[in-house]
């Protein structure tokens, strides 16, 4: 079977596979995840058991357990991970990845996200996601960007809408997490939608949108 033709103006398949590159933003930096980050991440995970509720791993009773996970995640050849380091603290506070990468179809997903409570709902958290969105949709020119989550995870559903992902439906009972069968909700942004999504997020992240205490003056909404 031959691949379908690419959309007008898009690069021909296959699309490039993501590289483990560092990224710098105004409020955050992303570094390719490595074993040396485990100590900082262990401290970030203390008192944060609830933040692992919808992930396949965690929380961690011992530092060696988290070290084993970080070692495994950092070594995945088909799923590059980045650690999230807010500029305000200079300390690693979470991780995220590009996954389910299909270079022949130009489709890619942002997933396996863990943000510590101190990172959640901050400018740095939003920019961390945005940096990978830009990398996937602009530098690599992928045509479809996916966000999927446990359908019971309301926080992730809200995040998908906030970043401008469109809901596509739910796969019932399609995943098993920590011994429980769960429904998975799918969302996407396609290339034709990206310019408006990018503009809205970039405007929200602009320095002028934050007061002297670092609080956003406006909500992130999409036309």
% residues pLDDT > 70 (the chain)? 96
How confident is the model at residue 7, as a pLDDT?
A: 54
Q: What are the C-alpha distances in Å from 101 to residues 13, 22, 26?
A: 13, 19, 27
The CATH number given to whatever domain includes residue 65 is: 3.40.630.30
Give a yes or no: residue 122 inside a domain. yes
Put simply, whether the predicted model's pTM sits higher than 0.85 gets the answer: yes
pLDDT in tens, 141-164: 999 999 999 999 999 999 999 999
Contact (CB, 8 A) for 132 and 8: no
Give a yes or no: residue 11 inside a domain. no
How confident is the model at residue 1, as a pLDDT?
A: 34
| Domains contained in the chain, number | 1
Give a yes or no: residue 221 inside a domain. no
How confident is the model at residue 9, as a pLDDT?
A: 64
pLDDT in tens, 25-43: 999 999 999 999 999 999 9
Domain hosting residue 126, numbered range: 23-209
Give a yes or no: residue 15 inside a domain. no
CA-based end-to-end distance of the chain = 38
Give a yes or no: residue 215 inside a domain. no
Give a yes or no: residue 10 inside a domain. no
How confident is the model at residue 223, as a pLDDT?
A: 83
11 — pLDDT class (breaks 50, 70, 90)? confident
Task: With a cut of 80, say whether residue 12 has pLDDT above it.
Answer: no
């Amino acid at each position: 079977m031959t691949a379908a033709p690419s959309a007008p103006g898009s690069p021909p398949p296959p699309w490039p596979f993501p590289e483990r590159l560092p990224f710098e933003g105004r409020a955050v930096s992303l570094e390719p995840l490595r074993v040396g980050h485990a100590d900082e991440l262990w401290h970030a995970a203390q008192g944060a058991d609830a933040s692992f509720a919808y992930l396949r791993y965690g929380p961690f009773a011992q530092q060696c357990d988290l070290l084993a996970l970080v070692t495994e995640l950092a070594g995945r050849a088909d799923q590059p991970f980045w650690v999230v380091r807010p500029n305000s603290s200079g300390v690693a506070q979470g991780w995220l990845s590009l996954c389910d990468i299909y270079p022949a179809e130009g489709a890619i997903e942002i997933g396996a996200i863990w943000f510590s409570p101190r990172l959640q709902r901050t400018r740095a958290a939003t920019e961390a996601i945005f940096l990978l969105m830009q990398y996937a949709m602009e530098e690599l020119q992928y045509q479809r960007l996916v966000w999927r989550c446990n359908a019971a995870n309301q926080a992730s559903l809200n995040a998908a809408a906030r970043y401008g992902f469109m809901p596509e439906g739910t796969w019932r009972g399609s995943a098993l997490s920590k011994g429980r069968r769960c429904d998975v909700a799918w969302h996407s942004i396609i290339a034709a939608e990206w310019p408006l999504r990018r503009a809205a997020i970039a405007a929200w992240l602009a320095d002028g949108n934050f007061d002297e205490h670092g609080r956003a003056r406006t909500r992130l909404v999409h036309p």
